[in-house]
Structure 1
Amino acid sequence: MSNEAPTRSDSAVYDPDLRPELFDAILSKRVVAFVVDAIIIVLLMIPAALVVFIVGVVTFGIGWLLYGALFAIVALGYIALTLGGPRSATVGMRMTDIEMRTWNGGPSFPLLAVMHALIFWFSVGLLTPFILLVGLFTRRRQLLHDLLLGTIVVNSAPLRSFAK
């Protein structure tokens, strides 16, 4: 998928009534992508923890203070590089063939990806996971953090065929 926004009008591209294939099974695909990405982040934390341990030894224990922020550093770095990258999708999202777009069809970028992750975690943490049920009631299957940031998650294949 190129980084350019779709060439036709936004309303035609992202209208769930005109293009329902963009939103077919999006919520279930997002769940699978989340699980895959969580596993990848946990696996990435193993070498990161080893690096922090070595830095802690070299700095006589000062580097070990990074352990408290290790998950946030690894997870947000992963999100910024993948979801905020040129394909606008994490590894899990690529496996399920979905990607995130801005409200006007543009690709994601690192700051938007990090804000997307942070608002997701804060909304789930503060408002319970039941807040994810919002996706069942929105036409584009957007979750609360998608609505707040003006993003949508769509199936990649129909979007690619439409942009040709």
Structure 2
Amino acid sequence: MSTIETNALYDRDPLEHMALFEGVRTKRIFAFMIDVIAIAILTFMAGIAVFFLGIFTLGLGWLAYAFLWQGVAILYSAFTLGGPFSATPGMRAFGIELRLVDGRRPTPLLAIAHVVLFWVSFTMITPLVLLVSLFSNKKRLLHDIIVDGVVVNSSALARTF
């Protein structure tokens, strides 16, 4: 897909391509639930490794518990959202992916920024941050707007080109 084609897609009125954004808000919520469960399982497994690391380091390794879930969540997002599919496993299960407004896939660093901005906005504004999508023409959330991203239906994106 060339840059000219993708720019033409995202620069147009989103109402011309409603299939890209149909049900995205609901799919994102359910995808988030799957990802939280996956991160919890990975954090539990990493916690076991940190436990043994703490034994071998005479307790020093146990300091990693303070930032364990944050580290797991950041790595999870960097490798999945910033990976070749531009989607976390939860997003892939519901057929959505993150793209930049110009059509490119996010880099791992941008995926980290995306997840950190999500947690900061979610923590500070509570779930009310989801209300931003009600007023956005492409159903974008606050952290999507900041990183210049848009979540679209993968199948509709493939059919568009």
- Which range, TM-score by smaller chain? over 0.9
After TM superposition, give the deviation of residue 57 of structure 1 in Å: 0.2
Tell me how far apart the structure 1 counterparts of residues 106 and 117 of structure 2 sit (CA, whole Å): 15
Which of residues 10, 23, 38 in structure 1 aligns to 2:36?
38
1:154 aligns with 2:160: no
After TM superposition, give the deviation of residue 11 of structure 1 in Å: 3.8
> Given residue 151 of structure 2, which amino acid in structure 1 is its aligned partner?
V
In structure 1, the residue matched to 2:54 is 56
Q: Secondary structure at the match of 2:97?
A: strand
Give the alignment of 1:11-160 within 5 angstroms.
11-13=8-10, 15-160=13-158
- In angstroms, what is the RMSD of aligned CA positions? 1.4
Tell me how far apart the structure 2 counterparts of residues 61 and 122 of structure 1 sit (CA, whole Å): 31
TM-score (norm 2): 0.94
Tell me how far apart the structure 1 counterparts of residues 69 and 10 of structure 2 sit (CA, whole Å): 37
- Return the structure number with greater helix share: 2
Q: Secondary structure at the match of 1:128?
A: helix
TM-score (norm 1): 0.93
Unaligned runs of 5+ in 2: none
After TM superposition, give the deviation of residue 5 of structure 1 in Å: 5.6
Unaligned runs of 5+ in 1: none
Tell me how far apart the structure 1 counterparts of residues 14 and 123 of structure 2 sit (CA, whole Å): 30
Which of residues 10, 13, 21 in structure 1 aligns to 2:7?
10
After TM superposition, give the deviation of residue 103 of structure 1 in Å: 1.2
Task: For residues 75-94 of structure 1, give each alpha carbon's deviation from its aligned partner in whole angstroms, at most 9, with x where no partner exists.
Answer: 11111000000100000000
Tell me how far apart the structure 1 counterparts of residues 6 and 98 of structure 2 sit (CA, whole Å): 18
Contact 2:6–2:103, Cα closer than 8 Å, also in 1: no
Q: Secondary structure at the match of 2:15?
A: coil
Tell me how far apart the structure 2 counterparts of residues 161 and 40 of structure 1 sit (CA, whole Å): 30
Task: For residues 85-130 of structure 1, give each alpha carbon's deviation from its aligned partner in whole angstroms, at most 9, with x where no partner exists.
Answer: 0100000000000000011000111011110000011011112211
Q: 1:112 to 1:150 in 2, by over 3 A?
A: same
Q: Secondary structure at the match of 2:150?
A: strand
State how many pairs are aligned. 160
Identity of aligned residues (%): 41
Aligned structure 1 segments of 4 or more residues deviating by more than 6 angstroms: none
